[in-house]
Structure 1
Amino acid sequence: MSAIDPEDLMPRPAKPAPRLLDPMSVEELESYIAEMEVEIARVRAAIEAKRGHRGVAEALFRR
């Protein structure tokens, strides 16, 4: 039996509509990619932090 994560009970925000790429210039598209890469790095860091917290909690309860 696994514990329920309180975040799983919270309503998920609606996904934003994808940006229209056709009207964007090459420079705007490159800037958009850079913005998304920063966001991806932020999400990966949050995942690692959550994994770290989970590992600490699991180690604590194994004692």
Structure 2
Amino acid sequence: MWNEDEPAPKKSDYVIGSDLEQHSVEALKGFAAALRAELERIEAAIARKGSDREAAESFFKK
């Protein structure tokens, strides 16, 4: 649990699977938003890599 004698946890202090009780509601909302943005970035990379692979397979099948 966070106490006033210690610095408040920052957004970058979040570790997946860590205890969430030490974070404020606002910090948790920030973590959730950052995770959603990261998930979108990962999904875009997956889609891009899938498209690249399909293009390569199509090229070599000719």
Whether the TM-score (by the shorter chain) exceeds 0.5 is yes
Moved over 6 A (4+): none
User: For 2:20, what is the secondary structure of its paired residue?
Assistant: coil
Greater relative CO, 1 or 2 (CA 8 Å, sep 6+): 2
With the length of structure 2 as denominator, give the TM-score of the two structures: 0.69
2:16 and 2:24 mapped to 1: Cα distance?
Answer: 19
User: What's the counterpart of residue 7 of structure 1?
Assistant: none
Rg comparison, structure with higher value: 2
How many residue pairs match? The answer is 48
Q: Which runs of 5+ in 2 are unaligned?
A: 1-14
User: Residue 33 of structure 1: CA displacement?
Assistant: 0.1
The alignment yields a C-alpha RMSD, in angstroms, of: 1.4
User: What's the counterpart of residue 52 of structure 1?
Assistant: 51
Amino acid at match of 1:56: A
Aligned-pair identity in percent equals 33
User: Residue 17 of structure 1: CA displacement?
Assistant: 5.5
User: What's the counterpart of residue 42 of structure 2?
Assistant: 43
Q: Deviations over 1:9-54 (max 9, x none)?
A: xxxxxxx663321111111111100000010011001001100100
Q: Which runs of 5+ in 1 are unaligned?
A: 1-15
With the length of structure 1 as denominator, give the TM-score of the two structures: 0.68
